[in-house]
């Protein structure tokens, strides 16, 4: 090997090493300063980066106290829309959400979470009826009612459709409604959606992942 060739090879090796170091440094810098993200591939839930705005609304809880967008701030909230005459999906979902709370408590996250049940049947679901219904699943569950117009303000922002079938105008009717469980972050923004069928294990796992991510990001 000639001295010139040997020098050229050393020079090429040095340049290659410098390029590797430069690329490695750029990669490290990008990962150091880039905002953390949570990929939907890590979750069964549908996660919305940054969350979505929720329009303010004026409702009341089962104690007769005002319930507005401000009541969704300061903690994580699981929202579910339904009605107390619901024969299956509503009681089944609330039972699963009760188990989710137990899972979060076991992980030391119980104080970060509230569950809110919003009726889509304010005609029959009085605050008194809601109180008896939601506290049957858990004492700290909160039942919400109000005018149908104000309920619709919240339902539209959360992507929940509902329709009442009461053609005869009586009190014996059913209400079809969206069955997703919805997650609102402590800033009062719509963060994630859990599709049915609802199972406490899957919801709890994804919820813990989301809370851990936001606690460390």
- What pLDDT digit, counting tens, does each position of 30-48 carry? 434 444 677 666 799 999 9
Are 184 and 134 part of one and the same domain? Answer: yes
Are 61 and 19 part of one and the same domain? Answer: no
- What pLDDT digit, counting tens, does each position of 71-121 carry? 999 999 999 999 999 999 999 999 999 999 999 999 999 888 999 999 999
CB 94 within 8 A of CB 137: yes
Are 135 and 199 part of one and the same domain? Answer: yes
**End-to-end alpha carbon distance in the chain:** 55
Structural domain for 112, as ranges: 40-216
* 35 or 59, higher pLDDT: 59
Domain count, the chain: 2
Are 106 and 211 part of one and the same domain? Answer: yes
190-212 mean pLDDT: 96
Poorest-pLDDT segment among 30-39, 140-149, 189-198: 30-39
141-150 mean pLDDT: 98
Strands (DSSP E) found in the chain: 46-52, 58-61, 66-68, 76-82, 113-119, 142-145, 162-165, 174-177, 181-184, 190-194
Are 98 and 122 part of one and the same domain? Answer: yes
Are 175 and 96 part of one and the same domain? Answer: yes
| Look-up of token digits 């170091």 | 21
Domain harbouring 97, CATH code: 3.40.30.10
Are 49 and 89 part of one and the same domain? Answer: yes
Are 9 and 84 part of one and the same domain? Answer: no
Residue 50 has pLDDT above 60, yes or no: yes
Are 24 and 131 part of one and the same domain? Answer: no
pLDDT at 13: 42
Are 20 and 44 part of one and the same domain? Answer: no
Are 108 and 17 part of one and the same domain? Answer: no
Are 101 and 24 part of one and the same domain? Answer: no
CA angle (155 as vertex; 149, 161 as ends), nearest 5: 100
């Amino acid at each position: 090997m000639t001295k010139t060739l040997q020098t050229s090879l050393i020079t090429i090796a040095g340049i290659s090493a410098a390029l590797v170091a430069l690329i490695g440094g750029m990669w490290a810098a990008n990962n150091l300063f880039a905002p953390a993200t949570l990929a939907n591939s890590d979750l069964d839930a549908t996660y919305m980066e940054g969350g979505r705005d929720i329009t303010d609304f004026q409702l009341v809880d089962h104690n007769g106290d005002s319930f507005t967008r401000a009541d969704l701030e300061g903690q994580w909230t699981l929202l579910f829309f339904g009605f107390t005459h619901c024969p299956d999906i509503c009681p089944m979902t609330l039972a699963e959400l009760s188990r989710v709370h137990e899972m979060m408590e076991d992980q030391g996250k119980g104080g970060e979470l509230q569950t809110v049940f919003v009726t889509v049947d304010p005609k029959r679901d009085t605050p008194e009826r809601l109180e008896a219904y939601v506290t049957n699943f858990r004492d700290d569950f909160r039942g919400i009612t109000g005018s149908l117009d104000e309920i619709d303000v919240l339902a539209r922002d959360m992507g929940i459709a509902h329709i009442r079938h009461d053609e005869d105008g009586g009190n014996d009717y059913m209400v079809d409604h969206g069955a997703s469980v919805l997650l609102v972050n402590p800033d009062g923004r719509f963060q994630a959606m859990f599709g049915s069928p609802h199972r406490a294990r899957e919801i709890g796992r994804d919820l813990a992942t989301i809370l851990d991510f936001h606690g460390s990001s």
